Structure 1
Amino acid sequence: MSGAPYAGPVVDAHHHFWDPRVNHHPWLTEAGVIPFRYGDYRAIRRPYLPDEYRADAAGHNLAGSVYVETEWDPQDPLGEVRYAALLRERHGLPDAVVGQAWLDRGDVAEVLAGHAASVLVRSVRHKPGRPKAPGEPGQTLMSDPDWRRGYALLARHGLHFDLQTPWWTLDEAVRLAEDFPETLIILNHTGLPADRSAEGLAGWREAMARLAECANVVVKVSGLGVRGQSWAAGWTGWIIREAVALFGTARVMFASNFPVDSLCASFDEIYSGFKSAVADRPEPEQRAMFCDNARRVYRIG
């Protein structure tokens, strides 16, 4: 067993760059402020670019990164990919991109073909929405026939799907994984276990256990901040270890979700927390979760 915090290379499997001064992000404008799970997010309604990101990540042997779509202008999803490619050319980051795609829109085939033609895009994301709380009636877009027709096109283009949805909708994700076994689902932000009550954590674990039975699902351990708490409080270490136990070290990737999670903690606090939580794992397993799995999943050189 290792017993020591990981010191090897890190590929951050989920982060964002943006510059609202030059590119339109509706939610980063004064007029477009939205209800947000971390509360007041004015601190991140400003440019966040590779130089600042590298400074935030200093001390953690950053060896690569995955840019995830930023709710850029929904009328121009391919423009975001061109922007990410320009950042790559100028700054050497990112190494891979998760593009924006509205799977229930009429132009989905054209957008996915455009993503597939990019040298950076490996996956797409479309948040499926409601229900907003456990037990709330209704279904998400994962059960919508039009959305699923768009989803069915992913395999044709060799694209993965980054799924951001809370744990109480994961039964729909299980059906999606079973119905489209050729498409890899990458669950974002650990299934969003924001409710740290005993009941909430039990519900999260049960839902995650069902999803983990699907061989075509991997998980990003990220997005673990809770409004009004320090990052390490409220069972965070337990959640990390349970996610690893459920999915196995070959299906876990660690990620910063920066700059969004800078509202909760520094990059160092987050990554040091990850490292502490899995320090008892053998070094090759740690390296898999911090680096090698992201390189494999996102096909990074």
Structure 2
Amino acid sequence: MTNVDPLLGPGRQIIVREEWLKLTEEPILEPNLPIVDPHHHLWQRAQGSYLLPELLADAGSGHDIRATVFVQCGEMYRAGGPVEEQPLGETEFVTGIAAVSASGRHGATRACAGIIGMVDLTLGDKVDALLEAHRAIAGARFCGIRNRTAWHPSPEVTSNLVSPPPGPLEHPAFPEGARRLARHGLPLDIWCYHTQLAHVIALARAAPELTIVVDHVGGPLGIGPFAGRQAEVFPEWKSRMLELAALPNVVVKLGGLTMHVSGFDFHRRPKPPGSQELAKTWQPYIESCIEAFGANRCMFESNFPVDKGMCSYPVLWNAFKRLAAGAGAGEKNALFSGTAMRIYRLDGLPQALSVDLSVAGA
């Protein structure tokens, strides 16, 4: 299908318009609440790069962002060599950016304190050596794996799947690769749509020793055949998320709801949404997850720059803080930093940047 929508760029992601985002500005809520942003990307693209300067500009816009976690997005793969080794280029690229940030010359935020890379978990015996190769590059920063898994048969639904559909979640070798990942003490991030959650449930049961991180509240769809059907999608999505919550090896990232696939259209308005409206819109999804999983198995995420097409970084975190307004101190610490630090083992952060994990219930 030809993309004729001027607000959508390559991959049908919403184009970031900085001047438009500035039309909605708010005071920062709870500016001293420590935050670890456990999900963002970095890339260099003709239509909007997002590299260390852009990330630090967002992280430094008012909230207390102590550290961030980079998540696999297929950037800077090696141009040659064995195909399975090409994703090592992404880890090399991000490790360099993390080292620049760790110098302290660009502010207090430790960008890419954790790095989630790509190893094809269907590769059998090769998985172990590839995991060790990532660790040799990134050291202790290497904290997890994500494969390309999001897929839906409708051509109207954005897919990031490279391998032939329906993709690795249904590949018979995938559970064994996931168990290998667990033996290395690493979690698996999974980005899928709500229509694929049954496969995540099956995987979590097949590999109970593996920590699975479900990205973007499980991907409730609102485009293509699901356009305008949020009320119908919600109970199906919630039922699957409750099944996942019953499995103790699954945690969930709270965010990603301003991606194009969510079906919300804030980007088409004259002004960006404020945090009150975002919190009200997201409340059913966020509260359902926190109630089902508990704060110690949930973490707020920015998913920038993908979600930046609909709202700014300050407004995004204000919305999350509004959603957590009724939580106690320990729950807030878990939601905004503690769960991320525990799952991705970021407790090696410099003491000045660390968060008390005992308060977060770790």
Give the TM-score range, shorter chain: 0.7 to 0.9
Specify the alignment match of 1:210 in structure 2: 243
Point out where structure 2 has 5 or more consecutive residues left out of the alignment: 1-28, 103-110, 155-164, 223-228, 267-272, 349-362
Specify the alignment match of 1:188 in structure 2: 215
Specify the alignment match of 1:150 in structure 2: 177
The amino acid of 1:110's aligned partner reads: A
Is 1:128 aligned with 2:149? yes
Q: Do the aligned residues in 1 keep the contact of 2:279 with 2:320 (CA within 8 Å)?
A: no
Deviations along 1:214-258, one digit per CA (max 9) or x if unpaired, are 100000011011445226288312211111111100000111011
SS at match of 1:153: helix
Specify the alignment match of 1:25 in structure 2: none
SS at match of 2:144: strand
Structure number with bigger Rg: 2
Separation in structure 1 between the aligned mates of residue 243 and residue 167 of structure 2, nearest angstrom = 18
* Superposed counterparts of 1:72-91, under 5 Å: 72=75, 73=77, 75=83, 76-91=86-101
The amino acid of 1:256's aligned partner reads: S
Deviations along 1:270-299, one digit per CA (max 9) or x if unpaired, are 111111011011122111100111111111
Is 1:96 aligned with 2:114? yes
Count of residue correspondences: 271
* Superposed counterparts of 1:1-301, under 5 Å: 7-20=32-45, 45-57=47-59, 58-72=61-75, 73=77, 75=83, 76-92=86-102, 93-105=111-123, 107-117=126-136, 118-119=138-139, 120-132=141-153, 140-195=167-222, 197-225=230-258, 226-227=262-263, 229-230=265-266, 232=278, 235-300=281-346, 301=348
Point out where structure 1 has 5 or more consecutive residues left out of the alignment: 21-28, 30-44
The amino acid of 1:8's aligned partner reads: L
Separation in structure 1 between the aligned mates of residue 116 and residue 65 of structure 2, nearest angstrom = 19
Counting aligned pairs with the same residue, the percent is: 32
Q: Using structure 2 for the length normalisation, give the TM-score.
A: 0.69
Change (3 A) 1:234 1:9: closer
Deviations along 1:102-160, one digit per CA (max 9) or x if unpaired, are 22247434322212433211110012244447xxxx96532321223322311222211
Q: Using structure 1 for the length normalisation, give the TM-score.
A: 0.83
Separation in structure 2 between the aligned mates of residue 159 and residue 174 of structure 1, nearest angstrom = 19
Separation in structure 2 between the aligned mates of residue 103 and residue 215 of structure 1, nearest angstrom = 22
Higher RCO (C-alpha 8 Å, min separation 6): 1
The amino acid of 1:204's aligned partner reads: W
Q: Do the aligned residues in 2 keep the contact of 1:140 with 1:169 (CA within 8 Å)?
A: no
